[in-house]
A and B are shown apart, each in its own frame.
Chain A
């Protein structure tokens, strides 16, 4: 399948990525090429085959629902690019 620039725009909005100029041409070409490659799968008859979703043999692994402090607020904020004493900081979300 040939991927066009419109499709790349839609996908990049969903993926929160941006492709401009040469990068956009590049991703259009790469995706077209890779998607053509994966379309090989259409040759296989999968009528009536159940999709394989879970790889683990474990079923319903349960634990007691106990309250535990896994990380403190200080620790949670430790790697934040922008923060104040209590919160992660971002640009203003709601207009006045």
Chain B
């Protein structure tokens, strides 16, 4: 079977009768089986997906299928799906079965998407390499000695390797965009509040957003318009109307783009990625767009602010995991307190514990003002300054990652790993929508992306311009 990269080509073949949904799902399952070494999936819903595909073929015949018919999609293992396991790639809740579905899952199923399985990720979405999974690292499909990025590395590897057409990931500081860059796929983080977080295992609630990982901008737009919108189960989900992004992908007119000179001239940025970006700037200028350097002298403050605030929120969010009402209970527990202490100590991985401890520190008496309040104030400055740029420009252009994918087991210092997110955290700190678009391949053979940040709730504009840069074939 063909390696499909858009839903429209699948739907054309379904309509022409050259394939059935059942064929399609069987083919994806075969590809998952033959790519098991990537460790992208934690669980594949083989029987269920094949059954749903058969039912969907009947619906297609009857003309009653939803608009995502033919979309075979994977869920990052932090998104609840009724009667299916969700483990956040953690030993602590390895066997937890969800009692309900996330709003995004409900909405995808209502439009007849087929969920093929749940994908590996960094434990509780904390990491930039997927090496923090309790169930082993994911390999980059382009080079198996490299990481796929994280934390949605299983999702991006699965899409890149053609094991599903699309996947949902979550992005707290770059967890959709960074692995999308490393795996050569499209990764989109919507505006904070655009997509309901109901049914998402929370990491940092004022940062987390769910978003699509796809081959094409058209599919990203289509998935977003299905999953976005008001939700009675998430009061932070925006009540703003959801435009039909997928029908607004023609960008006409001239864009005004600001690129952050401190990013493009950053000493840590790979020189080839920098050259690609500079060539892109030149090309856009030649095509009549305004592309200008803007200064944003706060680059070094972004990752520290991000780690103070996200670890604080994580220490609070993860206090619910205690081995009492769900999760694995330690067999070494001897009293009520040691149920919590032993279950958490044995169940959480090293990085999760590190972040809980840091979050506990910044929230603790005596340090709260100096660290937590301070970071909230810096967050305000970062948001104000970023919005100021977006008053004069439609988009901010910047790299997604400083380099291409690094080798598995090569980064051991936590601060060095945290700096992987240097270009991606800005969108989460400010709540803005951002996308990583594949830029092609480095001479080292690995893909990399470039990033655009748009204005609040202006996903339509951002997707249309992305489609101009990276036209859906």
A→B interface (CB under 8 Å): 3, 7-8, 10-12, 14-19, 26-27, 30-31, 33-35, 37-44, 46, 49-58, 61, 63, 70-71, 75-76, 78-82, 88, 90-93
B458 to chain A, nearest CB (A): 14
Number of A-B contacts (CB under 8 A): 165
CB-nearest residue of chain B to A33: B415
* Docked pose: A27 CA to B361 CA in angstroms: 12
Whether a CB of chain A sits under 8 angstroms from the CB of B285 is no
Contact across chains for B301 and A40 when beta carbons are under 8 A apart: yes
Question: Within 8 Å CB of A3, what residues of B?
Answer: 361
* Docked pose: A10 CA to B361 CA in angstroms: 9
Question: Within 8 Å CB of A41, what residues of B?
Answer: 301, 304-305, 308, 371, 374-375, 378
Whether a CB of chain A sits under 8 angstroms from the CB of B293 is no
Question: Within 8 Å CB of A10, what residues of B?
Answer: 364
Whether a CB of chain A sits under 8 angstroms from the CB of B162 is no
Other A-B pairs beyond A52-B380, A81-B329, A92-B335, 18, CB < 8 Å: A14-B364, A15-B315, A16-B344, A17-B341, A17-B344, A19-B345, A34-B358, A34-B414, A41-B308, A41-B371, A41-B375, A41-B378, A55-B206, A55-B207, A57-B193, A71-B99, A79-B95, A79-B326
Question: Within 8 Å CB of A82, what residues of B?
Answer: 329
Contact across chains for B360 and A14 when beta carbons are under 8 A apart: yes
* Docked pose: A90 CA to B336 CA in angstroms: 6
Can you list, as one digit per residue, whether each of B345-359 has a CB less than 8 Å from chain A (1) or not (0)?
100101001101110
Contact across chains for A79 and B378 when beta carbons are under 8 A apart: no
Contact across chains for A55 and B431 when beta carbons are under 8 A apart: yes
Whether a CB of chain A sits under 8 angstroms from the CB of B235 is yes
* Docked pose: A15 CA to B344 CA in angstroms: 9
Contact across chains for A50 and B315 when beta carbons are under 8 A apart: no
* Docked pose: A46 CA to B169 CA in angstroms: 34
Question: Within 8 Å CB of B329, what residues of A?
Answer: 81-82
B255 to chain A, nearest CB (A): 25
* Docked pose: A70 CA to B99 CA in angstroms: 10
Contact across chains for B344 and A81 when beta carbons are under 8 A apart: no
Question: Within 8 Å CB of A76, what residues of B?
Answer: 99, 325
* Docked pose: A82 CA to B348 CA in angstroms: 20
Whether a CB of chain A sits under 8 angstroms from the CB of B96 is yes
Query: CB < 8 Å: which of B236, B373, B377, B415 contacts A37?
Result: B415
Contact across chains for A88 and B301 when beta carbons are under 8 A apart: no
* Docked pose: A53 CA to B451 CA in angstroms: 26
Question: Within 8 Å CB of B237, what residues of A?
Answer: 58
A61 to chain B, nearest CB (A): 4
* Docked pose: A63 CA to B316 CA in angstroms: 26
* Docked pose: A91 CA to B338 CA in angstroms: 10
Contact across chains for A38 and B345 when beta carbons are under 8 A apart: no
Whether a CB of chain A sits under 8 angstroms from the CB of B381 is yes
CB-nearest residue of chain B to A82: B329
Whether a CB of chain A sits under 8 angstroms from the CB of B290 is no
Which residue, A16, A53, A75, A92, has most C-beta atoms of chain B within 10 A?
A16
Query: CB < 8 Å: which of B193, B357, B360 contacts A55?
Result: B193
* Docked pose: A58 CA to B397 CA in angstroms: 28
Known A40-B301, A71-B99: A30·B354 in contact at CB below 8 Å:
yes
Contact across chains for A49 and B381 when beta carbons are under 8 A apart: yes
Contact across chains for B340 and A16 when beta carbons are under 8 A apart: yes
Contact across chains for B357 and A31 when beta carbons are under 8 A apart: yes
Question: Within 8 Å CB of A88, what residues of B?
Answer: 324-325
Contact across chains for B325 and A79 when beta carbons are under 8 A apart: yes
Which residue, A8, A51, A81, has most C-beta atoms of chain B within 10 A?
A81
Question: Within 8 Å CB of A57, what residues of B?
Answer: 193, 238
Contact across chains for A16 and B322 when beta carbons are under 8 A apart: yes
Contact across chains for B357 and A80 when beta carbons are under 8 A apart: no
Contact across chains for B380 and A51 when beta carbons are under 8 A apart: yes
Q: Which 10 A-B pairs have the closest CB atoms?
A: A51-B376, A79-B326, A81-B329, A46-B377, A52-B380, A61-B235, A56-B236, A38-B304, A49-B377, A52-B379
Question: Within 8 Å CB of B95, what residues of A?
Answer: 79
Question: Within 8 Å CB of A79, what residues of B?
Answer: 95-97, 325-327
Whether a CB of chain A sits under 8 angstroms from the CB of B115 is no
Contact across chains for A50 and B235 when beta carbons are under 8 A apart: no
Question: Within 8 Å CB of B373, what residues of A?
Answer: 51
Within 8 A of A (CB), among B257-297: none
* Docked pose: A37 CA to B308 CA in angstroms: 10
Contact across chains for A50 and B341 when beta carbons are under 8 A apart: no
Contact across chains for B364 and A27 when beta carbons are under 8 A apart: no
Query: CB < 8 Å: which of B99, B353, B414 contacts A33?
Result: B414
Question: Within 8 Å CB of A50, what residues of B?
Answer: 377, 380
Question: Within 8 Å CB of B100, what residues of A?
Answer: 70-71
